[in-house]
Amino acid sequence: MANTVKIEGKDYELDTLSDNARAQIVNLNVTDQEIARLQAQLAIAQTARASYANALKLELDKAEPRQ
């Protein structure tokens, strides 16, 4: 069975595609992986930011506000 890829609902056999089409599929896979990596980094940064904001709130709760 040949390797296939589904694009916009249509199945294509990889060995029948042009070199350029196969290269673009590789490029799409690489960029999808990079997007996933960046989304994971963003989630880490957002979690850290929330933690810092909570830590600041705890410290501010201890402080007297300036009148």
The pLDDT value recorded for residue 31 is 98
What pairs with residue 13 in β-bridges? 4
Q: What does the pLDDT read at residue 67?
A: 79
**Full-model pTM:** 0.77
pLDDT at 66: 85
Segment 9-23 mean pLDDT: 96
The tokens describing 67, both together, are 């009148």
pLDDT in tens, 34-56: 999 999 999 999 999 999 999 99
